[in-house]
Chains A and B, each alone.
Chain A
Amino acid sequence: MNLRYLYLIVLVIGIGACESIVDVKVNENEAYLVVDAWLTRGPGEHVIKLTTTQPYYENQLPPTVSGANIRVIDSEGMVFDFPETVPGTYVYNSPDTFGVTGTNYLLEIVHDGHTYTSGTTLPRKVDIDSIIYTYEPESAFGPGYYYSEFFGTDPDGIGDAYWLKAWRNGKFLNKPEQIYLFFDASFSEGNGDGIPFIFPIRTFANPFESDINSNPIPNYDVDDTITANTDGTFTINESKVKVEGDELQVILEGDRNDGGVKKYALDGEPYFQIDENTIGKQADSLYLELHAISPDAWFFLIRLQQESNRPGGFGALFATPPANLPTNIVVDDPAIPVVGFFNFSNKSSFGQRLTPEVTRFDE
């Protein structure tokens, strides 16, 4: 159950919680190995990355770990070597499809005299059947908008775990709250199996973004043509934007930048330049990858999301205590710490632009 509803309620009485960035010293743990081994069934490059942990406030890319020997062995005894291509990146280039559904895979990393192992099973693939856009008319809560809904049916049998990755107009929705996870047809085990994915899950890929002026960007919308203002700028989503090379730059009003979209690419996804005074906008599109993952990986991602998307403001009242994420990597010496995860996912994909054929209007 999502507690977000609870603090929505509190906002209504109009007492504002407040957040401020503070300077807090934290301890530094000694660096240790981080395994980032999330494979996806298919041909081509399969990548495993090794890095180390770093101090919490060190705003640099994590240190890479070179010189390890990595291989994956399947339950048939087939061995797949992952040679290091650039420091910390280990790649197996598969000429044909890598991964057989239902097969067990063992990961073996030899580094610094120690062996790190893990195992997983490639789960069955589940398809997305369609994407539909529904128009939600203007209401007391705001102007009208389209929301996307993807349809699919969870196959019979408990234990199908899913990670839905979404790209809106070709841009990956990469925020922690956009790690879309579900289990069978519902949010967690035992709450719906072998039925169509339930309603709130179907509407996952609706980011409701804003730009840096906090002006909402229509969730999904039809195509449009925008004509320049007299000063040469354009008005998009109530913010002024100007053309900067092959980008549209949002002009910040005032000095308050609440985060959000700063610029749009003029590459046709969805904006493109027609002439100096006209900008075209395509209908918005959504591309989805439905990754069937192991139940353990699902739990890892649930925890990752809990920890990386901690509730602020009033939500802090209903936060759970921060804690370490689980790992399925085992070291031959239990005194040596390690973090990270090994998973082999089986993905299906589906893309759909907002067109009249896939649009419906609620009464």
Chain B
Amino acid sequence: MKRLSLIIIFGLLIGSAGFGQEKVTLSGYVRDASDGETLIGATVVVNELSSGNITNVYGFYSITVPPGDYTIDFRYVGYETITRSINLTSNQRIDVELSAGEQQLQEVVISAKAEDANVSEVEMSTQEMDIKTIEKIPAFLGEVDVIKSIQLLPGVSSVGEGASGFNVRGGSVGQNLILLDEAPVYNSSHLLGFFSVFNPDAVKDVKLYKGGIPAKYGGRISSVLDVRMKEGNNKRYAVSGGVGTIFSRLAVEGPLIKDKASFIIAGRRSYADVLFKPFVEALQDGAQLYFYDLTLKTNYTYNDKNRIFLSSYLGRDVFMFDKTQGFTWGNKTATLRWNHLFSDQLFSNVTLLVSDYDYSLAFGDDDEDLFEWDSNIISYQFKPEFSYFINTNSELTFGADAIFYRFKPAEARGVSVGEEVDISLDEKQALESSAYVGLEQKMGKMTVQGGIRYSNFNYLGGADVFTYGDTVPGYKKPVIDAKETERGEIIDTYHNLEPRLALKYQLTATSSVKASYNRMAQYIHLISNTTASNPLDLWTPTTNNIKPQIGHQVALGYFRNFKKNMYEASAEVYFKHNENQIDYIDGANLFFNETLEGELLAGIGRAYGLELYLKKNKGKFTGWISYTLGRSLLKVDGIQYEDGDPERIGDWYYTRFDQLHNVTWSAFYEINKWWTLSSNLSVISGTPFTSPDGRYTQQGYLAATVDSRNAGRVPTSHRLDLSATWTFKDVKRNGQERKGEQSLVFTAYNIYARQNPFTIYFRQGRETPENGEPYTTEAVQVSIFAALIPGISYNFKF
């Protein structure tokens, strides 16, 4: 109740500001003329007032101004600007369709926003990439990949080549909120992390929030990766697809009812197993090895005020050693959205979604001896969101969010010589609910975006609830009480207020400074103590024993564009402080362990850094250089303590993904209509490893005494990737080009075959000594991709 009244008061305050004089509203959608896709972030400028607005993620804009004659520009980078003269006397709806400009044929354009958005918008610490840019980046094995692409941006890194997921500003993989059309994706990798789950054919736009995160987002403390899917061509049928080194792809899109309803259906499947089946006996014997994903979206425009979207994703990795034994995992999501215009100024979207990640393993030849294990996390979410476009200077957003979680870490049974044991763990349930309000207010040179999010988390009963006794940090905590609970009973409750603030001050027409602060709460945790995350990692809720993670971040930036926005540059610094960061006791058992909570440790984290970014947006030669100077540390009692300290107070240590310097160069050169060259060069400081500082023997085996955690550093990594794209069009008899387009992409990943170090580990020599001979010991450097990896793919669009 308190929340609601807060929102109302907020609304009234803002609303009253406009009462002084009569105002009218111009609103509508901006779309792409060729396929009817709505354009996100298109600029609508009222020339007489030198102000305007940009379209939201649904392509909607709303501008409220005093009545009068105006010339309005509708702009979108790479598209021809449309100018309309309008005599605005009453509220008016104008939907426009922009055509890809002539220039697009000659120039490569790599920004999908207003030309000077990076300077003029209040948003900072965000990175946006449209799919056209992502497709140009030389990709591993030639497979276009959303997540590998964003790792080329400042502040984004990974623990090393081949690792799944990504790290943002020193945060862990489990602290990123990955949204696919609003639905959270709990595991973003195919094949253990070599490929991400998003099908590029169905992706429209990707936006990463590293800081200054608006109040509408919550639930993870490090970043938000917002992936938006295409809506489907509503003008005509189109087919696109391709054959790559790993995947074959096919996407079909088209109108269901012209200009009212359209669909897109896109699928990918790895095909190595199909290709090799005749030659590999194991595949004929029932072994399976493939992964696929299917993306489906449809939308229906009921009338001017109502539009419905239904999107769904299904992805799966299948590895079966024979007919009954093996391992599969995958995500399923379904999102239903309803856009409704209450008025020309009040836009709303209501989302209902379900997201499910599961894996299952099965071993055993027969019913006498077998092992089966299924695990999943399911979430159901209801999310109403509202945007109120008060006038050209202010926009109010507010909404709410409720997520019901079901965690099923193990539904498992084993049979041994016919005797069966059920080793399932109890299902855990939780309800996360939140409400937010945010206001963006332009005041001359200053723009303020303020907001507050209230989040509440109820850990619900059903699973046995344990109470643990105290022990020296680093040892397993003893269970002192266990009690059964009722389904739905509230076991523990947490609340957090999450203030968000972003400020922009326009210094000149081409430069601005920005600052932001955000506090974020995270109530579900990815349990993983391995170097890279893997498909078996479990999500677990905040409970009576696990506290929510809290993240604070401040960031400060300077933004500057040059040469009529041909170049954009930015410099940002950030500092983060995180609470209740999860770590693990040595030898923690993460699976089939109902007292796992007793083996978790909690500590604090901090990260800070500097990000420099220079990007060339236009011309035959485009691309960017990014540099990140970063640090990421944790301090956890029970880890990294002084020898002999009975309290085991932890000292700061670097996280496994700490990288001091990270320089990335991505450049694209369009030679002519047919050929484009792309390159990536990255130079990254070594990540940490842990060394021994002594050794001893125990029962004939060699053991090491271990030095400070992550105190060693592997050598610097560097790698150059190149690709060349040859685009060709069929020519009709009369010499005219056909509409379709085909291309061949040649990729060389790691062109000079550098063996980049992933880690260094220590081991006893190959031979285990016998007859009392001494052990030999050695340090071993591991490189994941040690060779040049070529790739070729063929793509078509008709």
Contacts and interface: CB of A to CB of B under 8 A. Distances in A.
A28 B639 CA distance: 20
Nearest to A18: B786
B775 A317 contact: no
A140 B282 contact: yes
A191 B705 contact: no
A87 to B, nearest CB: 14
Interface string A98-139: 000000000000000000000000000000000000000001
Contact of B531 (A13, A59, A316): A316
Contact of B779 (A10, A21, A60, A323): A21
A308 to B, nearest CB: 6
Interface stretch (B20-28, B43-51, B172-180, B413-421): B413-421
Nearest to B317: A9
Interface residues of A, number: 93
Nearest to A198: B416
Given A21-B778, A199-B364, A302-B587, A62 B697 contact: yes
Interface in A126-157: 139-141, 151
B615 to A, nearest CB: 32
Nearest to A343: B699
Contacts of A20: 755, 780-781, 783
A24 B784 contact: no
Contacts of A56: 691-695, 704, 762, 777
Interface string A304-318: 101111101110111
Contacts of A19: 780-783
Contacts of B774: 59-61
B400 interface: no
Contacts, number: 281
Nearest to A310: B761
A302 B777 CA distance: 20
Nearest to A36: B698
A42 interface: no
Contacts of A306: 587
A6 interface: yes
Interface stretch (A69-77, A172-180, A214-222): A172-180
B756 to A, nearest CB: 10
B280 to A, nearest CB: 7
Interface in B348-376: 361, 363-365, 369-371, 373
Interface in B695-713: 695-707, 709-710, 712
Given A23-B779, A29-B694, A56-B762, A36 B699 contact: yes
B697 A34 contact: yes
A259 B586 CA distance: 31
A305 B774 CA distance: 19
A35 to B, nearest CB: 9
Contacts of A339: 696, 698, 703, 705
Interface in A55-71: 55-62
A271 interface: no
Nearest to A176: B701
Contacts of A1: 361, 373, 536, 591-592
Q: Which secondary structure dominates chain A's binding surface? A: loop
A28 B755 contact: no
A304 B703 contact: yes
A258 B191 CA distance: 29
A230 interface: no
B701 A179 contact: yes
A322 B692 contact: yes
Given A17-B784, A22-B780, A320-B530, A196 B192 contact: no
Contact of A195 (B281, B416, B691, B789): B416
Contact of A51 (B283, B696, B768): B696
Interface stretch (A182-190, A239-247, A273-281, A347-355): A182-190
Nearest to B639: A323
A325 B702 CA distance: 11
A362 interface: yes
A303 interface: yes
Interface in A157-215: 174-176, 179, 185-186, 188, 190-193, 195-200
Interface string B287-316: 101000000000000000000000000000
Nearest to B770: A174
A316 B761 contact: yes
B594 interface: yes
Interface in B69-128: none
B696 A340 contact: yes
A179 to B, nearest CB: 7
Contacts of B591: 1
User: In this complex, which of B193, B373, B700 has the most chain A Cβ atoms within 10 angstroms of its Cβ?
Assistant: B700
A196 B194 CA distance: 40
B784 A195 contact: no
B442 interface: no
Given A175-B768, A199-B369, A339-B703, A29 B693 contact: yes
Contact of A53 (B193, B370, B691, B696): B696
Contacts of B780: 19-22, 312
Contacts of B338: none
A219 B370 CA distance: 23
Contacts of A62: 695-697
A309 to B, nearest CB: 8
A337 interface: yes
B534 A318 contact: yes
Given A29-B693, A188-B589, A313-B782, A174 B709 contact: no
Nearest to A341: B698
B656 A321 contact: yes
A322 B759 CA distance: 12
Interface string A249-286: 00000000011000000000000000000000000000
Contact of B191 (A10, A24, A55): A10
Nearest to A340: B698
A313 B785 CA distance: 10
B281 A140 contact: yes
A10 B534 CA distance: 12
Contacts of B656: 321
Nearest to A179: B701
Given A26-B707, A54-B696, A339-B703, A259 B587 contact: no
A29 B691 contact: no
A185 B694 contact: no
Contacts of A10: 191-192, 194
A336 B421 CA distance: 46
Given A56-B692, A56-B694, A321-B656, A312 B707 contact: no
Contacts of A320: 529-531, 584
A31 interface: yes
Given A17-B782, A60-B774, A191-B592, A317 B191 contact: no
B730 interface: no
User: In this complex, which of A28, A139, A307, A326 has the most chain B Cβ atoms within 10 angstroms of its Cβ?
Assistant: A307
A15 interface: yes
A27 interface: yes
Contact of A3 (B364, B534, B710, B781): B534
Nearest to A163: B699
Given A310-B763, A325-B703, A337-B644, 11 more contacts: A3-B536, A6-B536, A16-B787, A53-B696, A55-B695, A140-B285, A191-B592, A193-B421, A200-B363, A322-B762, A340-B696
**Lowest 8 CB-CB distances: which A-B pairs, in order?**
A18-B786, A140-B282, A259-B766, A140-B281, A199-B369, A323-B586, A198-B416, A24-B779
21 contacts: A7-B192, A9-B192, A16-B786, A17-B783, A19-B780, A19-B783, A21-B780, A26-B707, A27-B691, A29-B707, A36-B697, A54-B696, A62-B695, A174-B770, A176-B701, A195-B417, A200-B371, A309-B763, A319-B530, A337-B643, A340-B698
